[in-house]
Structure 1
Amino acid sequence: MIPSIMSCLGSFTILLLLACWTIAEPVQYCRFGHRTQDASVDFCLGLTTHYNATSNDHDLYLSVQVTRASALGWTAVGTGSMMAGSLMFIIYGDPFSDSKLPPTVSIRTIDGHRQPHVLSSADTGEADLRILQAEWVPGATGGDDISVAKTAVVCYSCEKWPGMPISAKTRSQPWIWAWNNKQKFENYSEDVHLKVHSYHATDGGWGRFYVDMTRSIDQDSSVPSPPPIKPGVAELGASEIPGGWSWMDSIVHVHGWVMAAAFLAVFPAGVIVMRSGSPKSFQLHWILQILASILLLVGVAIGLIRAHKLDSFHHWIGIIVAICSLVQIVLGWRHHVLFVQIRRRQWASYGHIWLGRVSLLLGWTNIITGLLLTGRSFSWIAIALGLVAADAAVLAGWIWVSAHRHKQRPQSEESPLYALQSMRDDYFAVAADDDDESETRFSRDESEPVAISKKDTE
């Protein structure tokens, strides 16, 4: 049975890895201005690059979502590190108009730092651009005061854009964004005059970010759709600095590795040594579980510092698991005290067993949700799933072996060695609920263990 389970888990992991290599990994950059105290720019850009065998060039698919609370102003994203030569996508419109006009997607460029003009055929060179989607949808909160402009554009042979270079092979493609929240429009034509954005960087009016274009390449031969925007993910294959590394990223990495060490290595190791039958199994068990609990609490603290606020299932699951670990320590201590007195399981024992199982499952789940929340690649997620599957298979196999060994033990043997071994195997018995409790007890003088049957105690 156990070999079959392990074989199935291994096959599943291999298939998942193969699937991940063939799936496009859209990159994403977002600024969540409506989540801040002083509402500011709020947009998301998603990218997928597709190799077109017909043209022998890369086509660029873009999804741009802009969250709006009024009809004032405009939001723009563009290629390159400056306005000159940038391919710009400027979005504006009235989401609350009775005319139900869709948002305007004005594609422009300029050769200097002045008013951008709408693209002409002379501007695009051999590249070709098409608008695929432009519509208003209610905001995530469902309120009438928030609306989202959902737009999608495809740029065929986009590497042939004659302005600022666009390459599917660069790991740090510069992009710019700009924002104006005060302009009142008389109409929403594509060539309407745009008032200047604020000259202050970041939330004030403009900024830069960098995208790993190699990650966005779609290996599938079929024509892709515009990439979906992952809710709540600020950076996916993108960063505000070239190269994609910052001290905040390092904190996220430390958080992830600490939690992975706790739930993929130390906690499972504590379960295994408790069922090992070693004379030091209990001592090793509590040492490992205390170490894992410390790693868990440190990881949760780092996660809370990085998150600033609790706004996802990942955060809440992490807090629940941290609380469970503290309860586990109390239940483990209580089990030990009562077991020494009565030599059998009681409420603290079963609470410790089942809460440990639930905590381990939640911890494994949160490893995956953490990778999804931080926008890690499909390959990382597949590796994590494979490690979780391997952990589950090893624990299941060890539990089965331990339970089988317990059932095969000669029950008629009443030697002092058997009494000592029985107690050692059943002390926590975190692996099997259906194991018979030890029928052995120790005399007051623990230097002379004796076997006492249930009949003798009646």
Structure 2
Amino acid sequence: MYGLMTTLPAAHGALAAIAFGFLFPLGSILMRVVPGRAALFVHGFVQLFSYATYIAGAGLGLYLVSIVHFPPENKSLLDMASTNAHPIIGIALLVALFIQPVLGVAHHRRFKRLKRRTWVSYAHLWTGRLGITLGIINGGLGFALARTQGPAVIAYAVIAGTMWVLWVLIVLLRKFRTGPRAEQREKIAEEGDREAYVPGVRGGGGSSSSRSGSRSPPAPAIVPAAEPDLPPYEPGPDYAAHTAHLRQTASRDSRGSKDDWEGHGSSRRDEDPGPIQSATDDEMGRGQV
């Protein structure tokens, strides 16, 4: 029993330390340094292997919680405030990281379709970032709980600290180099989502032009035709009298015979235009004809 109680904590600590102190940060780093589509598969494989490693370590930890009790009240590690921080954080990480693969697949599919990040993307990113950081801290709490000292603690601190700093630096460097372009792409995508529906354009029926990314020219605006009796400008004060006289003259002419028109045509042309001409002059003077 004494040998088991010595081996189990060591195995639990080694597996959890390897998962959070090395493998999880490595998987996140590889996502940003491996070129092309291979980065996605490398990232997914390493992170799944890291999680499997942590599941093994967490399983040993839960077993230790179930068999270790402290006198005189026979309390477990979870029952005492001085010792329950490490197991509680470990259980929380085990549950939170369980949904990471689901969030990762959803993030990849949405980003591939929309060409921008959504809430799923940020949930996946920040669950991973907080999980790795909290896991490294929880490793230190575990060493303190086990009262471990010496080379093992120093090695964990150096390796985990180096991997965490390297991971953060790569994330910041990548964001600094691609941030403006990424923000521009997201802005263009968001503006495109707010555009009106146009057939053949993204979201407009799924034609070949939408799949190829090309845009059809916008349709010309349709201007309603003006009323036939109204001019395309604001009439002057004599316009009503002018048009009324023209209509009256046209009506009188239509009632007359052809001979009557030919007999009186010359005299009508010689008449003084009077108010008709003055109305026309007024419109011309105002620039409204």
Given that 1:439 and 1:452 are in contact with CA atoms closer than 8 Å, whether structure 2 keeps it comes out as: no
Partner Cα separation in structure 2 for residue 380 and residue 452 of structure 1: 59
Aligned match of 2:57: 299
Consecutive unaligned residues in structure 1, runs of 5 or more: 1-239, 412-425, 427-433
2:86 pairs, out of 295, 314, 336, with: 314
Aligned match of 2:19: 262
Aligned match of 1:274: 31
Partner Cα separation in structure 1 for residue 184 and residue 87 of structure 2: 37
Residues 435 and 384 (structure 1), Cα distance of their counterparts in 2 relative to 1, 3 Å cut: farther
Amino acid paired to 1:273: L
Partner Cα separation in structure 1 for residue 110 and residue 185 of structure 2: 18
Aligned match of 1:420: none
Q: Deviations over 1:30-59 (max 9, x none)?
A: xxxxxxxxxxxxxxxxxxxxxxxxxxxxxx
Amino acid paired to 1:281: A
Aligned-partner SS, 1:364: helix
Consecutive unaligned residues in structure 2, runs of 5 or more: 67-75, 193-201, 219-289
Aligned-partner SS, 1:406: helix
2:41 pairs, out of 276, 283, 289, with: 283
Amino acid paired to 2:62: L
Partner Cα separation in structure 1 for residue 188 and residue 18 of structure 2: 37
Amino acid paired to 1:265: F
Q: CA deviation at 1:380?
A: 3.6
Please give the residue correspondences for 1:404-443 in structure 2 after superposition, counting only pairs within 5 Å: 404-406=176-178, 437=186
Aligned match of 2:267: none
Q: Deviations over 1:399-436 (max 9, x none)?
A: 2332243258xx6xxxxxxxxxxxxxx7xxxxxxx796
Given that 2:22 and 2:160 are in contact with CA atoms closer than 8 Å, whether structure 1 keeps it comes out as: no
Residues 335 and 452 (structure 1), Cα distance of their counterparts in 2 relative to 1, 3 Å cut: farther
Partner Cα separation in structure 2 for residue 275 and residue 387 of structure 1: 20
Partner Cα separation in structure 1 for residue 88 and residue 130 of structure 2: 15
Aligned-partner SS, 2:33: coil
Amino acid paired to 2:149: S
Matched, 1:251 2:24: no
- TM normalised by structure 1 equals 0.36
Q: CA deviation at 1:366?
A: 1.1
Partner Cα separation in structure 1 for residue 18 and residue 188 of structure 2: 37
Given that 1:406 and 1:435 are in contact with CA atoms closer than 8 Å, whether structure 2 keeps it comes out as: no
Partner Cα separation in structure 2 for residue 259 and residue 435 of structure 1: 40
Aligned match of 2:172: 400
Please give the residue correspondences for 1:371-410 in structure 2 after superposition, counting only pairs within 5 Å: 371-377=143-149, 379-406=151-178
Q: CA deviation at 1:437?
A: 3.9
Partner Cα separation in structure 2 for residue 373 and residue 307 of structure 1: 12
Partner Cα separation in structure 1 for residue 106 and residue 20 of structure 2: 23
Residues 340 and 305 (structure 1), Cα distance of their counterparts in 2 relative to 1, 3 Å cut: same
Aligned match of 2:139: 367
Matched, 1:330 2:102: yes
Bigger fraction of residues in helix: 2
Aligned-partner SS, 1:377: coil
Given that 1:251 and 1:302 are in contact with CA atoms closer than 8 Å, whether structure 2 keeps it comes out as: yes
Partner Cα separation in structure 2 for residue 252 and residue 334 of structure 1: 36
Aligned match of 2:116: 344
Matched, 1:355 2:113: no
Please give the residue correspondences for 1:24-423 in structure 2 after superposition, counting only pairs within 5 Å: 246-279=3-36, 280-308=38-66, 309=76, 310-311=78-79, 312-377=84-149, 379-406=151-178
Report the number of matched residues. 185
Aligned-partner SS, 1:390: helix
Partner Cα separation in structure 1 for residue 28 and residue 187 of structure 2: 19
Bigger fraction of residues in strand: 1
- TM normalised by structure 2 equals 0.56
Residues 284 and 391 (structure 1), Cα distance of their counterparts in 2 relative to 1, 3 Å cut: same
Given that 1:335 and 1:349 are in contact with CA atoms closer than 8 Å, whether structure 2 keeps it comes out as: yes
Partner Cα separation in structure 2 for residue 277 and residue 406 of structure 1: 16
Residues 398 and 435 (structure 1), Cα distance of their counterparts in 2 relative to 1, 3 Å cut: farther
Residues 450 and 392 (structure 1), Cα distance of their counterparts in 2 relative to 1, 3 Å cut: farther
Aligned match of 1:162: none
Q: Deviations over 1:228-253 (max 9, x none)?
A: xxxxxxxxxxxx96xxxx12211211
Given that 2:20 and 2:160 are in contact with CA atoms closer than 8 Å, whether structure 1 keeps it comes out as: no
Partner Cα separation in structure 2 for residue 361 and residue 274 of structure 1: 17
Q: CA deviation at 1:378?
A: 5.3
Amino acid paired to 1:400: L
Aligned match of 1:81: none
Partner Cα separation in structure 2 for residue 450 and residue 266 of structure 1: 40
What percentage of aligned pairs have identical amino acids? 25
Q: CA deviation at 1:256?
A: 1.1
Q: CA deviation at 1:392?
A: 2.0
Q: CA deviation at 1:396?
A: 2.1
